[in-house]
Amino acid sequence: MKYSFAPVIDSGSRVLILGSLPGDRSIADARYYAHPRNAFWKTIYGFWGETPPESFDMRYEYILRRKLALWDVISHASRQGSSDGKIRDETFNDIPGLLASYRGISLILFNGSYAFLKYSRHFGTPAIPYRRLLSTSPACAGRDAERLKMWHEALALGLCDTETPRCIHGI
């Protein structure tokens, strides 16, 4: 069995980023998106023109300051390796309960098609706006420019306010 982590969220969070289930490297390190080839942290920090620090605690504080939240669709499952396609016998996190507790969430970003597929099959269509984005996983390499554009457009959509200088159309 492989297990997801607790959500990274607080009362100021406005955008919930949902992955499927942490990969082996993330599980071993007990950190979201710990694989060095996963583009997640580089993409998030890059939106603000910054570079991620080594400390994951600092990364989590950063995303909370930026009104973001992290969790996974799947709570636990059996899986050989890190591939989403190998996930079996999954149990789901209580995402509707999380959204009921954190009513400031106004957008869900799905980190990859598999996270969206599993969410929609188990919970149906999200009740709030959402975007299905290309995965930041190393398994989705080769579409880096397209992925970066999708993520930055989605972040701008969800975080458009006076504190976010990237709130422009056509990023």
Longest alpha-carbon distance in the chain = 45
The catalytically annotated residue of 13, 26, 38, 136 is: 38
In angstroms, the CA 50 to CA 119 distance is 31
Going by C-alpha positions, the residue among 164, 170, 169 that lies closest to residue 44 is 164
Cβ atoms within 10 Å of 76's Cβ, excluding its own: 16
In angstroms, the CA 92 to CA 80 distance is 18
Q: Any catalytic annotation for residue 111?
A: no
Catalytic residues: 38
